[in-house]
């Protein structure tokens, strides 16, 4: 009887585990990318944890998704003739009811061709480690959640434009200089924003940093002369902590080595209601 009871307990436990796994659907796809002309990558996710990194194989784009099928459905459209890929995970119904639902999207990008990336995440946690990927243009929009974007390795090509927009939540951007972007636009609505501009800065690059409500922290690069301005309607209402490394001349701040450094970077910061910290 004891053995029979134990077997029954094990059977029930296994059944519960099996039933729990049954609710999840997985999606796996690999696409071979030929080098040459640019490739456009569109990422459209309603909710979930989104991770984007460089692929171990230079000519391969990989996508893995795991989600509750009752609440989500995926779609991936590959147009090799137009060199375009669209990766989609949509919520069945309102995304405001999807906060506690399981959804994971992992994307590994190729490094053998120039990429134009347009990503839109309505709610969730975004982690992008984009170092070493040849990106010509990058756009990230996150309506609500936490976003972390890093460039620990330099971009092999000069990026034309980088735009990051987080409506509500926290945004952490590290080693942005390694993006090697000529023009950067960082925008945060309500929350906290941390921007580190260190890295292989492109000479003459221009950066706009805008925060409406919350705390902003900006770290200027050490390997470039820095000229920046604090502007906007609320600049007098925000608490500012500017590193004494910078001196003020008129309406601009300069690093002490601005004139002597070979590379120069120009930054415009528009703080909102909150605190602004600028250091080097």
pTM over 0.95: no
How confident is the model over 119-129, as pLDDT tens digits? 999 999 999 99
- Spatial contact of 269 and 278, defined as CB atoms under 8 Å apart: yes
The answer on 209 and 148 residing in a single domain is: yes
Q: What residues have CB less than 8 Å from 90, skipping those under 6 apart?
A: 44, 46, 72, 73, 74, 75
3-state secondary structure of 229: strand
Residue 239: per-residue pLDDT:
84
Beta strands in the chain, from DSSP E residues, in sequence order: 24-32, 36-54, 60-68, 72-79, 84-91, 103-109, 113-129, 135-150, 159-174, 181-196, 205-219, 225-230, 239-242, 246-249, 252-255, 264-270, 273-279
How confident is the model over 199-211, as pLDDT tens digits? 999 999 999 999 9
Residue 259 has pLDDT above 60, yes or no: yes
What is the pLDDT averaged over residues 91-112? 81
Tokens (6 digits) for 161: 């434009």
Tell me, yes or no, whether 8 lies in a domain. Answer: no
Domain that holds residue 125: 40-129
Residue 3: per-residue pLDDT:
46
How confident is the model over 213-255, as pLDDT tens digits? 999 999 999 999 999 999 976 666 678 899 999 999 999 999 9
CA-nearest of 160, 138, 278 to 209 is 278
Tell me, yes or no, whether 242 lies in a domain. Answer: yes
Residue 89 has pLDDT above 50, yes or no: yes
Tell me, yes or no, whether 87 lies in a domain. Answer: yes
């Amino acid at each position: 009887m004891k053995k029979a009871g134990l077997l029954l307990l094990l059977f029930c436990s296994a059944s519960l585990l099996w039933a729990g796994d049954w609710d999840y659907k997985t999606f796996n796809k690999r696409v071979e990318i030929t080098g040459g002309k640019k490739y456009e990558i569109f990422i459209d996710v309603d909710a979930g944890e989104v991770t984007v990194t460089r692929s171990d194989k230079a000519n391969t784009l990989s996508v893995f998704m795991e989600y509750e099928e009752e609440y989500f459905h995926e779609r991936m459209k590959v147009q090799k003739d137009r060199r375009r890929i669209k990766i989609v995970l949509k919520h069945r119904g309102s995304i405001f009811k999807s906060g506690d639902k399981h959804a994971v999207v992992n994307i590994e990008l190729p490094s053998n061709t120039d990429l134009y990336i347009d990503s839109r995440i309505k709610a969730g946690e975004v982690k992008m480690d984009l170092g070493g990927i040849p990106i010509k243009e990058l756009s990230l929009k996150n309506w609500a959640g936490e976003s972390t974007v890093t460039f620990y390795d330099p971009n092999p090509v000069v990026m034309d434009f980088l735009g990051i927009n987080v409506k509500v939540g926290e945004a952490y951007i590290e080693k942005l200089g390694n993006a090697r972007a000529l023009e950067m636009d960082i925008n945060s609505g309500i929350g906290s924003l941390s921007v580190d501009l260190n890295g292989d800065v492109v000479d003459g690059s221009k950066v706009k940093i805008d925060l409406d409500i919350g705390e902003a922290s900006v770290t200027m690069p050490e390997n470039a002369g820095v000229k920046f301005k604090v502007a906007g309607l609320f600049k007098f209402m925000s608490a500012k902590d500017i590193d004494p490394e910078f001196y003020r001349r008129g309406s601009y701040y300069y690093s002490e080595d601005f004139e002597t450094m070979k590379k120069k970077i120009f930054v415009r910061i528009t703080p909102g209601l909150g605190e602004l910290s600028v250091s080097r």
